Structures are given as structure tokens and as C-alpha cells.
Amino acid sequence: MKGFWGCCFIFFCCQAFAQTSVEKIKFSKIELHSELSNSRVTSILQDSRGFIWVATEDGLNRFDGYEFKVYRNLPNDTTSLLKNSILNLYEDSRGILWISTSNGGLHTYNIKQDNFERIKEYNFNCEIGVITEDKDYIWIGGVKSHNAFIDRLDKISHQWKRSTLFRSENPTLFISRDAADEFWIGVRNIGFFKWNEKTNSVKKYSADKNNRNTIIHNGVHQIIRDPKGYIWIATEGGVSKFEIATGKFKNYSKALLQNHTAPLVDNTLSLCMDGDYIWIGTENGGLSQLDTRTDNFKNFSNIKNDPSSLPDNSVWVLYKDRQGRIWIGMYSKGLCVIDRMKDKFSELDIPLENDVVNAIWQDSKKRFWVGTENGIAMKDGSNVHYFNHSENNPNSLSSNPILSILEDSKQQMWFGTWAGGLNRFDEVNNRFITYKPDSERINSMSDANVFAIAQLKESGKLLAGTYKGLNILQDEKRGIFTNYRSDKFEYNNYIRTIHEDSEGNVWIGTIEDLALFDPHTQKIVSFNTSMDPNFHSVGGLVNCIVEDKKRRLWVGTNNGLYLIINKKYSKRYTIESGLKNDIVYGILEDNSGNLWLSTAEGISKFNPETNKFKYYDVNDGLLSNEFKANVCFKNDEGQFFFGGKGVNVFYPDSIKDNPYIPPVYITDLKLFNQSVKVGDKDGILTQQISEAFEVSLSPEYNFFTINYVALNYTAPTKNQYAYKLEGFDDTWNYVGDQRSVTFTNLDPGYYIFKVKASNNDGLWNEEGTLLIIRILPPWWETWWFRSLASIIIISVVMGTYKVRVSRITQQNRKLEDIVERRTRELAHQNEELLQIQQQISAQRDLVSEQNMELQYAREIIEKQNDEIILRNETLEAEVEERTRDLVEYNQQLEQFAFISAHNLRAPVARILGLGNVLGIIRNDPNEVNMIIDRIMFTTEELDRVVKDLNTVLELRKDNTSVITRINLADELKLVKINLEKEIEETHTVFEEDFSNAAVVYTLKPYLDSILMNLISNAIKYRNPNIPPVIRIQSQIVQEHICITVSDNGLGMDLPLYRDKLFTLYSRFHSHVEGKGMGLYLVKTQATALGGKIEVESQTGNGTTFKVYIRNQTSA
């Protein structure tokens, strides 16, 4: 009977893969935008810095986890590889990388120059098969002129010694020195030998089919030595293990391992130690893993339509890096890797006819049941059985799409199907019993689509959730069901999941709601309305319901994760709370109380106590980032299964973060998107950028990019980066997976670029790496030019000062001469008057009749005395006035120097800048003409400034002769032109109103300087958070014109700074550059124009200056 049903069913067994574990090893193919130079890999090596080097038949590749950098022969370049076909790679203890190429060629890699040094002794007619070393020597094995040889390079003296072994067409490919100073060597396709260097004698260990204690085959492909001292030999006829101490061989081949698993083929090409395991690459037989403790093999080969299987069955090269990854070089498919740290999640090792998984279960007999869109796959030990629907077999599955699975308390397996109702597997008779809706029976199932199956703990009754309500199986043999539907809410009849909690409450998840089934009232009631009127609605499709160890209920929906405590809504978790995606398909709780959530964007690990999430996706080994609703299972061993596209399997306690801290390197420097090469004509790099400590860039290279990388090959796309440029921005910029940064328009000076990175699990290399960048100044900003310009300006100012002082000294001398002459005249007149007075007194007694005349004469004398005194006082006042004029002239001279430097700076700087641009665009006539026009305009402006300064000099001679009529709007336009660069860079907006006073009669240079200082200060001390706005207006105030300049900038603490606001060299914002002269000049010039200045300001609310200028009529 059993055989009959086995034939009737579409039911068969297939031999499982050689590994009996339910987990499947994944092979990750290295496929990038930057391709490997050739698909045939000949050697693999990880250097001391962490880069992976891959040798191929057409070029050498350096891999950083993201892209390959390819090295090939360059014609006429002796620092390139001699040939493109690479044979061997080896890095010695000094960090020197050795490379051999076919048909002659041995090189060392110059890490500083990023090129190669050819070893001239090997340039022609030889082939290197092995490069290795011991404490004292570098050993080179090869073949030349049909002779196998071994060369020895002394590390200290750098002397070469050659030992010729025997005639051979093939090179030496293995050299190992033992304690007795004897060498074990292998020669490709020739055999295995012991060589004595001192006597140059060779002993061959030949294969003998009649003697099992010999090497299995003379066709040697690769030899390795394990830590226990055994030598493992890959040959055309299998693998041999040689014990040095006894001289005995142990062989592994298909013929010899009849009672054990064995490699799929005997032609073995490559070997790699991995702890207690040896990986064995074969020719057309895939990859084998030998457990040296049990001598059992596991075999891996390419599986059609399985991207995680071995890509190519011819494995040429195997290499284990320092982090334990196994790199696999193949004959035709390039490079792949086994990365246990990346593949945190494994695949259930069951070949599926359809990879859309809707249900998972492991039964009490440890069998795995997987329900797919195309039937059931069941793994029992090493065998896999498939169950499908057959139209001609009523005992087969009623429908292929499986929606739910359950093992009941009787150890019976139940399956919910799409359109096929409920199926029970009768294991005794190997058949399926089907329960479907029957229109002729009122107690049959209500619907044929069974999305959920559950069993009540107390009664043991089976519950089936369909799209037409809840069905409770009352009689298994007769197929009698009781149907329950919600009368109030139709959507509560579309049941997706069922869960009975620890208190016996039956929770039902529907397409729109969370509901409760009350067995006593036999009603389905919406939880949102019945239990708590203040409850936040569990909106959206309910995918799963789980109760944790603390009896908290967790509900996964398409609208987030909900927490329910004591039948009351507690909290909702969404993207805003830290979820990767709001759609939660499945929930499992681990032994530590963490919840593992399958979502529409991978799996999230959630700690309910800390509310922290950690995310995992396909880069961590998941088969897909999207899962199916409620397709999750936890077995008795605590192993988790999540399904969607295939089945992901893992132990949650084994999901560990990658502990490797990746080194960080700067990999490229680009100027205007072009990579800078070592030794380019500009001489920027004298060594490759990863080895450079400092670079200097000319000012014309104001657009440059820096590329960097963290050498973590485990899910490198999840590496995170942060950088900062000290001297420009001292805070770290966290840029995610971005591996380059571009800088533009940096000011001249020194900067330190620092970059750090994390691995795929967020472990940071806080030290990172750095590069000092020096931006050279343009010639007009160099120290020598500034020194020369300063000397010239100082010389001009000092010359002018000396001329002026000389003129004032001459005027002082003239005044002194006048005063001295007038004083002598007055003294002489006094003497004459005294004589006259004496004569009059003497004649008084004699000429009494002349009293009246004398009285009159006295009055005349007294009047003359008064005039003399008045004249003396007038002369003293003139001296004081002349002295005040001298002091004022000195002050105005200083002011003139400041105005000269201030007004000349901007036009001169623009002329120099335009001249520099003219040198760059000289090949474009249109742009050259535009720049020439700008130079002419700026030159005219410079001429106006010089004329204005001459006017100031004329002013010193005659103030009334230079009063001019000034249109304020036109004057403001000139100021804007002078500040054009600052206005454009800061996007300054002007609001002006000269309608009340459009014209003023005054001194133009002083008004120029006043407006220039006030507007430039408004721009300089702007608020960085808002665009600067400057308002300028004028009005007539009695005999003055009042010009008001207001801004919305930083403002100032006026009570604190009022006393020194208009003093020389006073500054009020330390973070903005300035010299503290502007307001001093404004006040001085306003006073000189017969006016004054007033200020209103508050910190953070801007500043208003009111300048009053006496409006003088034109001459």
C-alpha cells in the first residue's frame, strides 16, 4: 500500500547536499562597476596594509572592497609589469610585495611610487613557480632553459645564489625548509621531492599504484604545510597528506573513500588551511571541504539559478585572509568569497521548486516543512521530499499554494492552502485528507482560502482563519466545522492570523483590524471598540501576533508594531520610533527578550527595554530584504526561521557584530575631477596619495576631490565615513557611505584633512588617517609682494608727511619772526612814550598853562597803550590759532593716509584679479574683451579715487574751493560697485530712499569714505542666519542733510561699547576680521564736514547710523 501511494503521489526523494546541517554556505560573487581585469584568477594575497591583490592571466588587480585598480604592462615604461599574465604573489616580512609573470619576469612593488621594480636576472626565458622566505633568505623557485632551479636571496647582503635541480619543463611551486635544513619541494606536474641544499641532492617521492604509502599522483598542482607539520599535496589523482616524521602518505580520492564522502572529482588544483578544515579546489568538480578530524568531505558546486552557490566548478586559487574569509579564484568566473562575518544569516539547505515561501514548521520529529507557492518541501535527515497537487490523484494536496502549517497535539501535520481548503497529512497512508467548503453541507468550511491555523490549548480544537470568518473543527473524521463571522464589521471576517495568549484569549488579526474571539458568546468583536474607548486604532493589515515572556502582546501590522498590555493599547512603533519600515511581517522572541522583526526592509532586532533597533539586510546575508506575513518559526533549539524568498535560518545568539576595526586610506586626489598621478608635471605628488603626509596646491587648483576607503570587505557598502577639514571646519561631517569629498575656493593656508570610518556593524576606527593640505597664496598675497607694497605705501606716506612737516616748520619760523619783530617795535614805542612822559613831567611845573594840553596828551598816550596791549593780545591769539591749525593738519594727514589706503585697495585688487583671470581665459576672445572692459572700468574708478584724493589735498589749502554738488543715488551706486564682490557673495539687499533730500553740497571724498565704511561694516557684521538687508535714506534737518544707514545684522551692546565706539583701533566682534578704523574715520570726517554722527543698536537686532552733514551752497 505504501509503495502504491508513493507512486501515485508526485512524491520523491532526492539526496541532500553532502552537508547534513540545515544551514547552507553562501558564495558571494565579487561583481562591481569596476571589473576584474580578467576572469581567470591565478593568485590571491592580502598585503600587510589590508588590500587584496588578485593576479589574473591579463593584469594585476588591487581590490579595496569597492573597486579594482588594474596594473598592466605599459609600453616604454620600465616601471610597469614586464608581462600581463601574472603567476605568483608573495609579500615578505618586510612588507615588500613580489610578483612573477609568465615567460620571464620578477618584480617588487614600490608602494611609494605605485609602480614596479623589475629584477633584471629574471627578465627573460624563465618562469617563476613559487616565492617564499624563511628567517634569512628569500627563496625563488622556477624553471629556466629546461632546468628546475631554486634561487636564494640573502636579506642582508642582497646576494643571489642559484641551485639547479634537474631537467624539467615545469617550475618549482613549493619550497619548505625543515629543522634539519632539508627542503621539501614540489615541481608542477613532475612530483614531490626532498632537497639537500648543501649537497644539492634530490630525492623524489614517486607515485606507485600498487603501494598506498606513496603519493597518489605525480601530477602535482599545489602543496601547503599545516601547523601540525603535515604537508598536503593537490594532484591530478586526488589529495595526499605527507607526515614528515614518518615519511608516510595518506591519500584521499573517490576510489579510496568508498565509505566516506569524497571530492566530486580527483583532479585537485588548490588547497587552503582553515583551522581543522582544508578547502580543496578541483577541476570541474567544484569545491570540497575536508574535516581533518573525521576525514569527511563536504562538496559544493554550481547550482543552476542559485546565485549563492559556487559560480564556477573549476577552482584555481584558494586564499584565507586575516579576518578568516576564504577567497576563491576561478577559471572563468573571476572571484568569489565565503565571508562568515558577512553571512550572519544562512539559507535553509532545502532545494525548493519555488522560492516563494508562505509557511515554515519543524515538527516533533525534527523534520522541516516548507510551504511554497508550488507545494510542500519536507526535509527528513538528509532526504528531501516534495508534495504537490495532482489533478488525477484525489489523495494529493488539494492545491499547490500553501498558506499556513501547523502540527497539532496528536503530531498530525495540517496545511492551509489557497483555494484548496484545509489539508491534513495522513502519514500512515501517505495521503492528504482535504476539508473544503461544500454548498450541500452547512457545517462544512466557510471558505477555501486558509491563511491561519491554530489549536486551542484547553479544548484542543483546531481553528482555521479564512477570508469568510473563523472555522472551528468540531469533528475531524466527519469534517464538521462551526463558522463564526463578525456581523458588525465585514473586514473582521478576512482573517490573516490567530493567536491564543497565556490567559486563553483568542486574538485574531484581519486585513483591517485586531479582533477578539469570545468562545462563550461565539462572537468576533473588534478589539479597537470593545476593550478601550480611548484605544489608538490598530489600523492596517495585521500580519502577526506574538506574546512575549512578560505576557506582553506584540502585533505586527502594515502600519507599524503595536504593544498591548492587559488588553489595553500601550504603544506604537513606526519609522519615527526607529523601525526601518512600518510593515512588520513576523515576530520572534529570543532567549534574551529581544524581538526579531521581519519587515519590508530586512530584519530588525528590537530591545523592548531600551527601545533600540538594529537592522540587517541582504548585505548581512539575508536572501531578500522583503518577507512574507507570519512566515517565521522558532524551534526547540532556539533556531530562528524567517521566510519570504527562500528561508533564512540563524541562531540569534550567534549574530555578532564584526569586531574588525578597518584601516582607513586616502586613495585618490583629483583636481577638477582628474586624478593626480605620481610624478605629474606639476609635481604635486612625489609618492602615491595613500603614502603622502602633505600636499601643496597652487591657488589655481581651487577645486579638488579626495577619495578615501575603509578596508573592510564584509558588506563594505555598509561602511560609514566621517571627515573634517581642520582650519576650515573643525566638526566631524558624518556622510554615510560616501567615499569622497570635494572642496572649492579655500583660502590660502594650512589645512588638516582627517577621515575616519566604521565597519559594516558600526565599529569605528576613531584614529582614521590624515593629510596636510597647503593652499599656496596668489602672488599678490605672498609675503614678498605684501612687504614690497607695504614699503612703497609707507615710503609715499612718509614722504608726504615729511614734506608737510617741512612746510609747517617754515610757517612756524615765519610766525616767530613776525612776533619777534612786532615785539621789538612795541618795546621801542614804549621807550619813546616813556621819554615823552618824562619830558612832560619835567615841564609840568614850568608850563602850568599847558596842563590842558598835557591832559590831552596823557589821554592820547593811554589810548595808545590800550592799542598796544590789544595788539599784543591779538598776536598771542594768532599764535595759538596757528598752533591749533598745525595739530589739526597733522591729524588730517593721518586721516588722508588711511583714506588713501582704504580707497585704493579695492580698485587695485580688482585690477589684479581681472589680470589673473585674463591669463586663464586668454584663448577666448569674447571673454577677453569682457575682462578688458572691466579692467578699463576699474581703471577709471581708480582714476576717480586718485582725483578725489587730490581734492582732499586741495581742501587743506582752501576748504571753500572744492564744495561740490553730489547726487546721493549716484554716489551710492559707486559705493556698490566698489563693494560688488562682497554684495554678490552675501546676497545683500539694498533699500534706498533719497526722495526727501536727493542732493547735498559737501566734500565728495569725505562723503565717499563715510558711505563706504558704513555699508562695508553692515555687510561684514551681518547675521549669518538671514540675508543681509541695508536701508539708506536721507532728509533735510535744518542746515544739515541727515543720511541714515540701517542694517539687520549682529548689532552691538551699545551701553558696553559707547565710550570707545568711535575711537581708533576699536573692534566689537572678534570673529570677524577688521582693523578698527572705519567708525573713527566716519566720525572724524563728519565733524570735518560741519556735522556729527549718531548710533542706535541692540545685540541681534541690527544697527542704525545717522550722519549729519552741513549742506553748504556751491561756490
Note down the domain range covering 286: 31-339
Per-residue pLDDT at 717:
92
Q: Cell 596646491 maps to which residue?
A: 697
Residue 1059: strand, helix, or coil: helix
How far from 188 is each of 51, 211, 223, 425, 473, CA to CA, in Å? 29, 22, 10, 59, 72
Q: Is residue 827 part of a domain?
A: no
24: nearest Cα among 803, 740, 623, 792: 623
Q: Is residue 290 part of a domain?
A: yes
Let me know how long the chain is: 1115
771: nearest Cα among 743, 799, 792, 798: 743
Q: Show the cell assigned to 725.
A: 577639514
Please state, in angstroms and rounded to a whole number, the distance separating the CA atoms of residues 55 and 88.
7
Q: Is residue 1063 part of a domain?
A: yes
465: nearest Cα among 413, 500, 431: 500
Please state, in angstroms and rounded to a whole number, the distance separating the CA atoms of residues 587 and 583.
12
Q: Give the CATH number for residue 716.
A: 2.60.40.10
Number of domain units in the chain:
3
Q: Is residue 413 part of a domain?
A: no
Q: Is residue 78 part of a domain?
A: yes
Amino acid at 93: S
Mean pLDDT of the chain: 86
Residue 873 backbone class (left: φ over 0; alpha: ψ -120 to 50; beta: rest): alpha
Q: Is residue 1105 part of a domain?
A: yes
Q: Is residue 1093 part of a domain?
A: yes
How far from 236 is each of 37, 176, 233, 270, 656, CA to CA, in Å? 28, 21, 10, 11, 40
Query: DSSP 3-state helix, strand, coil percentages of the chain (rounded to 5)?
Result: 25, 40, 40
Q: Which of 339, 359, 388 is the last residue of a domain?
A: 339
How far from 448 is each of 398, 403, 451, 466, 725, CA to CA, in Å? 10, 11, 10, 7, 66
436: nearest Cα among 458, 461, 419: 419
Residues of the chain with pLDDT under 50: 1-20, 529-535, 948, 951-952, 954-961, 1065, 1075, 1114-1115
Whether residue 1109 contacts residue 1041, with contact meaning beta carbons closer than 8 Å, is answered with yes
Q: Give the CATH number for residue 1043.
A: 3.30.565.10
Per-residue pLDDT at 6:
35
Q: Which of 741, 758, 777 is the last residue of a domain?
A: 777
pTM (predicted TM-score):
0.66
Q: Which of 777, 793, 808 is the last residue of a domain?
A: 777
Please state, in angstroms and rounded to a whole number, the distance separating the CA atoms of residues 139 and 174.
10
Q: Is residue 230 part of a domain?
A: yes
Whether residue 454 contacts residue 495, with contact meaning beta carbons closer than 8 Å, is answered with no
Q: Give the CATH number for residue 52.
A: 2.130.10.10
Q: Using alpha carbons only, what angle is made at residue 35 by residues 287 and 113, rounded to the nearest 5 degrees?
A: 110
DSSP symbol at 865 = H
- Burial class, 213, CB count within 10 angstroms (exposed 0-12 / middle 13-18 / buried 19+): exposed
